[in-house]
Structure 1
Amino acid sequence: MTDDVPERPPAGGLVQALDVPRNAAIGALAGLALAATAYLFRVLELFGPFAGTREYPVLGPEGWFLILAFVLASATALLVATVLTLISAYRLSRTV
């Protein structure tokens, strides 16, 4: 017996086969678009003032909603990229 460890195949081929960079870019655009829309509707009050508006002592409402918009953008980007990658994996598995 030998103590040689067999070489692993490169993982870059799988990433390219599943179109992960394209899916991540689409997810980032979708997340940014959704977060920007939600932020603008809330901060600019495009539908008029929201019921139950309050005073925010630390950052002000714009600061808090900007943080929430970042979280919404990140979560949406991750969800969209994951779903698109799963669709790519399914399509790839059907062709093999």
Structure 2
Amino acid sequence: MKTNSESMAALFDNFAEQLAKLLKDGKTIVDKDGEVHQITPDAATFNVVRQFLKDTGTTIAPNTNKKVNEIAEMLPFTGSEHDGDEAYH
């Protein structure tokens, strides 16, 4: 069966939009009393987003994105602990 490229593109775009919505708005849950709440995404959701970005080859060069720089500055290490290390892949 041949895959329709327009359908695949629409699926990809919809998936990306849903991930963006989850990151922006969080998840909607209903508590035991029936009240609706918005919560921040859980680790599994962040992992899906991370993997999606990795699978699609999305990268950001160091020091080119303010949001990424802010996250990097909050990390409890600088990366200097790996200076001089050879990477083995």
Q: Give the TM-score normalised by the residue count of structure 1.
A: 0.30
- Structure with higher Rg: it is 1
Query: When you count strand as a share of all residues, which structure comes out higher?
Result: 2
Query: When you count helix as a share of all residues, which structure comes out higher?
Result: 1
Q: Give the TM-score normalised by the residue count of structure 2.
A: 0.32
